[in-house]
Structure 1
Amino acid sequence: MPELRVGPQCFNAASGSNLLDALLAGGVALPYSCRAGSCHACLVRCLRGEPLDDKPEALDPSRREQGWRLACQCRLVDDLQLEVFDPRRDGLPALVDSCSWLSADVLRLRLVAQRPLRYRAGQHLVLWTDSGVARPYSLASLPGEDPWLEFHLDCGRPGAFSDAARRLAPGDSLRLGELRGGALHYDPDWQARPLWLLAAGTGLAPLYGVLREALRQDHQGSIRLIHLAHDASGHYLAEALAALAAVHPQVQVELITAAELPAAMAELRLVSRQTLALLCGQPESVDTFARRLYLAGIPRNQVFADLFLPHAR
């Protein structure tokens, strides 16, 4: 049985077992969230030995060269000596600039990093509390224009990070972990093509950034944004979106509720085969969007989706 060493801890685990499961069973306090290689909360660095990595493409090559691996995507095949990602040592310090409620459930969190962070609209970051709770969140801010990093946190249900976020105040510290590319972005080559942006809940956050990036780059094609919320109170950016649509005539904003979803999807009609679609939200909503877009005639390679995966328990 392979031997695992993490700091002073040493124990054995079955060959072929999932590395994250083995570490948790051995008493290692390793955070995790999605178990799908997306959130990057379970980063570990290999100091000696190498696990079998089932998803090497999930990490940036430079990270891999430094020995970092995602424990949830690795299997034990040999002895390993590891160190767990330590946000105090490995994370980028940031301070809370402001916290404000955009709706009863959505908290707008604005952070200022200790040093400038290069990112693109649509990317996401892992946020770490001082107590070591980690959770990935999409950026809603626009790089080069907003002086802060903005996140829209769904605090409607209990969760380790959302519970901590409710208590945050200006001046409090957080740490920033891995910056991820995600599937959502704006390509200047799309300038003349119609864009459909379909978001559910706080899946609107990255698409709000992508929308503003498209407008900043003087997008010439039509832009149709659809936001799905459980009820009307969930349209937390309604005023901001209306203001953008008032200034940019090519932008059409549709706010729909869960009860209105079937009718709204049935009415989707494709005007141009050049249309590109960007989708974001919980898997069930994104799947509903994607199926309807396929039926409407948008080729699969013109649909980009980013899923908000539920917290693994």
Structure 2
Amino acid sequence: MPELRVGERQWTVAAGSNLLDALNAAGLSVPYSCRAGSCHACLVRCLHGQPQDARPEALSEQQRQSGWRLSCQCRVESDLQVELFDPLRDGIAASVLGHDWLSANVLRLRLHAERPLRYRAGQHLVLWNASGVARPYSLASLPDEERFLEFHLDCRQAGAFCDAARQLQQGDVLRLGELRGGALHYDADWQERPLWLLAAGTGLAPLWGILREALRQQHLGPIRVLHLAHDRQEHYLASELNVLAERHAQLQVELLTAQELPQALAALRLQSRQTVALVCGSPVSVEQFSRRLFLAGLPRNQLFADIFNEHA
């Protein structure tokens, strides 16, 4: 059986063992969220040996040459020595600038990174707290314009990260892991095409940044924003969205609850097959939105979706 080594620890694992599971079974507490190679919370660096990697394309060539691998996508087939991601060594320090509640359940964090980050609207980062708990969150801030990094945390459920985040104060320091780009982005080539942004819960966070990026780039086509929330009080950016709709004639905003969703989805009609749709939220909501858009005639290559897995 292959041997797995981390620091001074060394033990045998069954051939074909998932690397993330093997590390966590040994008590090393490697964080993870999606287990699909998207969130990048489970990064480890291979020092000796190579695991079987199911998703080599998920990392850049530079990262792979430096030995980084996503442990959730790797299987141990031979002896392997790895080094865990250390937020103090490998991460970027970021201090809390703002900490306020946008609704009863949505916490807004604004952070100032110790060095500037170049990012696009729609990307996400892994946040590490002082206890070493890590979670991926999408950026809601507008790059190159806002001097802070903004995140919207869904705190409906208790959890190690959210419970600690509730207690954060201005000046407290978090660490930032790898900046990661998902499916969501704004392309200047879409400027004259209809743009639909459909979000559930805090899936609105990356679309809030993308919406403002589109408007900053003077998007000419109609823009439709649909936000699904548990109840009216959880439309946590309702006033900000309505202000933008008043200023931009091409922007239409719809705020829906779960009870209103079936009728609203049934009424969706594409005005143009050139429409581009960006969808973000829980697996169930993304599936609901996507299915209806396809039935309405949206070409599959014109839908971009990110799934928010439940994590706290």
TM normalised by structure 1 equals 0.98
Partner in structure 2 of residue 85 of structure 1: 85
Partner in structure 1 of residue 287 of structure 2: 287
Deviations 1:191-215 (A, max 9, x none): 0000010000000000000000000
Is 1:187 the counterpart of 2:201? The answer is no
Deviations 1:259-307 (A, max 9, x none): 0000000111111111110000001001000010011111111000000
Aligned-pair identity in percent equals 70
d(CA) in 1 for partners of 2:61 and 2:129? 26
Deviations 1:131-177 (A, max 9, x none): 11000000000001111000000001011111111011110000000
d(CA) in 2 for partners of 1:250 and 1:311? 35
Give the superposition deviation at 1:178.
Answer: 1.1
Alignment size in residue pairs:
312
Partner in structure 1 of residue 17 of structure 2: 17
Is 1:260 the counterpart of 2:265? The answer is no
Give the superposition deviation at 1:65.
Answer: 1.3
d(CA) in 1 for partners of 2:101 and 2:272? 38
1:34–1:311 CA contact under 8 A, matched in 2:
no
Query: What does 1:29-40 correspond to in 2, within 5 Å?
Result: 29-40=29-40
Quick check: 56-65 or 205-214, which moved more?
56-65
- State the SS of the aligned residue for 1:259: coil
Give the superposition deviation at 1:29.
Answer: 2.7
Q: Which amino acid aligns with 2:211?
A: L
d(CA) in 1 for partners of 2:107 and 2:17? 38
Partner in structure 2 of residue 96 of structure 1: 96
Partner in structure 2 of residue 178 of structure 1: 178
d(CA) in 1 for partners of 2:27 and 2:239? 48
Partner in structure 1 of residue 276 of structure 2: 276
Partner in structure 2 of residue 206 of structure 1: 206
> What residue ranges of structure 1 are gaps of 5+ in the alignment?
none
Partner in structure 2 of residue 59 of structure 1: 59
Partner in structure 1 of residue 299 of structure 2: 299
d(CA) in 1 for partners of 2:263 and 2:88? 49
d(CA) in 2 for partners of 1:56 and 1:64? 8
Partner in structure 1 of residue 166 of structure 2: 166
Deviations 1:31-58 (A, max 9, x none): 2222221221111100100000011112
Query: What does 1:241-260 correspond to in 2, within 5 Å?
Result: 241-260=241-260
Q: Which amino acid aligns with 1:78?
A: S
Quick check: 58-67 or 100-109, which moved more?
58-67
Q: Which amino acid aligns with 1:6?
A: V
d(CA) in 2 for partners of 1:174 and 1:282? 26
- State the SS of the aligned residue for 1:163: helix
Give the superposition deviation at 1:229.
Answer: 0.4
RMSD across aligned C-alpha pairs, in angstroms?
A: 1.0
Partner in structure 1 of residue 134 of structure 2: 134
Q: Which amino acid aligns with 1:14?
A: A
Give the superposition deviation at 1:21.
Answer: 1.1
Q: Which amino acid aligns with 1:81?
A: Q
Partner in structure 2 of residue 223 of structure 1: 223
d(CA) in 1 for partners of 2:35 and 2:63? 19
Give the superposition deviation at 1:24.
Answer: 1.6
> What residue ranges of structure 2 are gaps of 5+ in the alignment?
none
1:124–1:182 CA contact under 8 A, matched in 2:
yes
Partner in structure 2 of residue 196 of structure 1: 196
Deviations 1:225-267 (A, max 9, x none): 0000011011000000011111111000000100000000011
d(CA) in 1 for partners of 2:59 and 2:268? 36
d(CA) in 1 for partners of 2:93 and 2:17? 34
d(CA) in 1 for partners of 2:29 and 2:202? 29
d(CA) in 2 for partners of 1:117 and 1:65? 22
